[in-house]
Amino acid sequence: MSVPRCLTVAGSDSGGGAGIQADLKTFTAFRAFGMSVIVALTAQNSCRVVSIHPVPVKFIEDQMDAVLTDIGTDAAKTGMLFSSEIIWSVAGKFREYGVRNIVVDPVMVSKSGGARLLQESAVNSLKSNLLPQCTLVTPNVPEAEVISGIRINGGEEDMVRAGRR
């Protein structure tokens, strides 16, 4: 039986509770071989995000090329992507390599302290370029409202409408 190969494309969380670190722990728990492409470095802990340093797009592309030309992937998951440029680059590489089984976690705002993890100007890039390629999107309620443009008042009906949009 072969081991599933899973790629996470996200930010690095110095506190270890989210981002690349959490994804790799999850992959391991499910007996998958985890690989990573780091798109941003964060200085954060369980209380707040201190700062964010985006990785240059060329280096993100180099990481993706290195992993996808050699190891390949059976599934990919995105997390914090930070900017339109990063989203366009990642989506382009997914297309170039025919990556399938893409899970998009549209990380927009930190739960610890409310720091902005996706630039406001990048929301349309996410919606138009990455979401059409994904198999599954896993927004929380505020993210689902931003993506769908539908106000979710806590009812299941609102959630279903937002999910369909």
Pick the CATH number of 5-134 from 1.10.150.120, 3.30.465.10, 3.30.360.10, 3.40.1190.20: 3.40.1190.20
Domains of the chain, by residue range, sit at 5-134, 141-165
Q: What pLDDT is attached to residue 21?
A: 95
Share of residues in the chain with pLDDT > 90 (%): 64
User: What is the reported pLDDT for 112?
Assistant: 65
Residue 23 near residue 16 (C-beta atoms within 8 A): no
Q: What percent of the chain has pLDDT over 70?
A: 97
Task: Provide the pLDDT for residue 113.
Answer: 64
Give the amino acid at 131: L
pLDDT 10s digits, 33-86? 999 999 999 998 888 888 899 999 999 999 999 999 999 999 999 999 999 999
Flag whether pLDDT at 1 surpasses 70: no
Whether the full predicted model's pTM is greater than 0.85, yes or no, is yes
Helix axes 141-148, 156-164, angle to 10 degrees: 50
- 120-131 per-residue burial string, b: 16 or more CB within 10 A, e: under 16: eebbebbbebbb
* Secondary structure class of 6 (helix, strand, coil): strand
Q: Of 83-87, 112-116, 118-122, 139-143, which gets the smallest average pLDDT?
A: 112-116
- pLDDT confidence of residue 134: 96
